[in-house]
Amino acid sequence: MSATPLAERMRPQSIDDYIGQEHILGEGTGLRKAITSGNIPSMIFWGPPGVGKTTLAQIIANTVDRPFHALSAINSGVKDIREIISKVNSQGLFGNKNAILFIDEIHRFSKSQQDSLLGAVEKGIITLIGATTENPSFEVISALLSRCQVYTLKHHSIEELTQLMNRAIQQDPELKGKNINLKETAALFKISGGDARKLLNGLEMVISQTGGDTIDITDDLVTSVLQQNIASYDKDGEQHYDIISAFIKSIRGSDPNASLYWLARMVEGGEDPKFIARRLIISASEDIGLANPNALIIANAAFDAINKIGWPEGRIVLAQATVYLATSPKGNGSYMAIKQAQSLVKQTGNLPVPLHLRNAPTELMKDLGYGENYKYSHDGGNNFINQEFMPDEITGTNFFKAGSSKKEQEIAQTIKNLWGDKYST
């Protein structure tokens, strides 16, 4: 088999060969129009691994016929950025096409590194294309973010993954000579998790380990081959999401030792500490919530501390927060409540706000009954007056259902004491 992975051999070279992301690349979309016109803005592609961020950047550069420079934020710094900008500046004396600078994992650049890009982007010396797996609103400085269009890329659908596999089997020089039958694909799809690179490289590994010119791809075959070779299968860092998933589930399961093990895996693997800290904040609300409100304070303090002290001492802060969250009482009442409330909003649409709850800044609004009969809660005993705060159509709907934790049970009892049986279902 070739030393070049199948995913790399099958990397599309034109926008017409690119599969997926129709929401930003379909006919008539703004990005496609910009690419075909050659008038592209600086932009940031945000999405999970293996959805085509790097490929799309290269296709754009090829389509608009501009010089293309690429950096990875993992092993590049301000010096590398300045060298490229200087090179582009000197080449600009002999041409009028500004270069494209592609920065993979731009969220790993520090503020000073991102600042070094600003001048060149503002002056049009370079068109920046950044790729990130993290929300750019958190990780990209506002001055740079305001000069870029942000495009969100999604996981590939089953149909798109199937199309990618069929294309590889039919077109790849090393595969098309074999008789490959995709009898079952569920295991490949499950293990790839919507990651096209992972899917194709997994398919290639199964084929290479099976041997012969006729190969029947089945779920059992895929599972046995890829589970035995999971280390090499994930060698490019796709375990990022698997390990953070194991970390959060260990915290949810109240196992501090397992939580610390997965934390250590991330620390030793060079994971971004802010990524870990953000997940702790989410876990503090999703899995602990009202059962121990201090968990959110601890998690947020850990995030602040990471920003102040960085590595390597930051690992101690993360360990402290991890053990605290793992050993906290658990409750998901507020998490489930907002999910149910959102579901009801989607079902019922924009129900009108009851008149007595509406603001009445003008006389006309007062004449229409806005604010009429509203009772100021602080005028009642214990700062409470029984009145309706829901639209009539959903009155009495109960979103908060207490779990077994002491604090959530206390909250449920408070609701019961105030509202009687109104929210009993």
**302 and 359 part of one domain:** no
Residues 365 and 388 in one domain: yes
Rounded Cα distance, 400 and 337, in Å: 5
Tell me the average pLDDT across 37-50: 88
Q: What is the pLDDT of residue 239?
A: 62
Measured CA to CA, the distance from residue 26 to residue 394 in angstroms comes to 40
- Tell me whether residue 342 is in a domain: no
Tell me phi and psi for residue 243, to 5 degrees: -70, -40
**Is 375 within the bounds of a domain?**
yes
In DSSP terms, 104 is beta-bridged to 72, 131
SS (H, E, C) 327-352: CCCCCCHHHHHHHHHHHHHHHHCCCC
Instruction: Give the structural domain span for 372.
Output: 349-419
Whether residue 147 is found in the same domain as residue 167 = no
364 against 256, higher pLDDT = 256
Let me know if residue 268 belongs to a domain.
yes
SS3 content of the chain, % helix, strand, coil (to 5): 55, 10, 35
Confidence of residue 228 (pLDDT cuts 50, 70, 90): low
Are 45 and 129 within 8 A, CB to CB?
A: yes
In a domain, 11, yes or no: no
Residue 340 in any domain: the answer is: no
- Note whether 163 and 80 are same-domain residues: no
Going by pLDDT thresholds of 50, 70 and 90, the confidence category of residue 103 is very high
Q: What pLDDT was estimated at residue 295?
A: 94
Of 152, 169, 193, the residue at which a domain comes to its end is: 152
- For every residue of 82-97, DSSP letters joined together read HHHHHHHHHHGGG-S-
Task: State how far Cα 358 lies from the chain centre.
Answer: 37
What is this structure's pTM? 0.61
- Per residue in 332-352, pLDDT (tens digit) is 888 888 888 988 888 888 888
Largest CA distance in the chain: 84
- Domain limit, last residue, from 152, 171, 196: 152
pLDDT band at 97 (very low <50, low <70, confident <90, very high): low
**Tens digits of per-residue pLDDT, 110-122?**
888 888 888 888 8
Contact, 289 vs 225, CB < 8 A? no
pLDDT for the residue 298:
95
Position 174 in a domain: yes
Residues 167 and 279 in one domain: no
Half-sphere exposure of 319 (CA within 13 A, CB side): 12
pLDDT given for residue 93 in this prediction: 46
The answer to whether residue 333 is domain-embedded is: no
CATH code (residue 65): 3.40.50.300
* Count of domains observed in the chain: 4
**pLDDT in the model for residue 44:** 94
Ramachandran angles phi, psi of 179, nearest 5°: -100, 90
Q: Which one of 129, 152, 175 terminates a domain?
A: 152
d(C-alpha 81, C-alpha 31), whole Å: 26
pLDDT of residue 1: 55
